[in-house]
Each structure stands twice: as C-alpha cells, then as structure tokens.
C-alpha cells in the first residue's frame, strides 16, 4: 500500500507544480515562446491552461532555452 500512496503523492506534487507553472506561463511565458500569442485573449489562455499544466516540464525547458538565446 505504501507504493500506491507514494505514487499518488508524486502525482499530486506534479499536478500542483504544473498548476503553479501554468498560471505563471500563461501570464508571461506564452508570448515569449510564441510571438503569435502576444496579446492573446483570456479565453485562449484558459483553454491552454490544462495542457500547460500537464506538459510543464517540456514547456519549462523550452522557455528557459528560449530565454538564454535572446
């Protein structure tokens, strides 16, 4: 049972970090990675929120990589 509890805890941490990252990313990061998203509406940002929260490690890597080149 301890393995299952540890797995659930890991998923909860991943989701919490993902949600925090997603909030930060949709306010600042999306327009730095994709210039077409500059000035995007709140509706667009809310639509991409779940995907950003799920794929936050990939987007963080892209965001950090993009920042070091410019």
Q: How far apart are CA 68 and CA 31, in angstroms?
A: 16
- Tokens 């809310």 belong to residue: 46
Read off the pLDDT band of 70 (50, 70, 90).
very low
pTM listed for this prediction: 0.83
Over residues 19-61, the pLDDT tens digits come to 999 999 999 999 888 888 888 899 999 999 999 999 999 999 9
Residue 68 pLDDT greater than 80, yes or no: no
| Contact present, 58 and 65 (Cβ < 8 Å) | no
Mean pLDDT of 60-68: 80
Q: How far apart are CA 2 and CA 37, in angstroms?
A: 44
């Amino acid at each position: 049972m301890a393995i299952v509890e540890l797995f659930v805890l890991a998923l909860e941490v991943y989701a919490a970090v993902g949600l925090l990252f997603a909030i930060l990313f949709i306010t600042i990061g999306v327009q730095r990675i994709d210039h077409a998203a500059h000035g995007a509406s709140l509706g667009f940002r809310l639509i991409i929120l779940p995907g950003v929260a799920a794929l936050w490690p990939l987007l963080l890597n892209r965001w950090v990589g993009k920042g070091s080149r410019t």
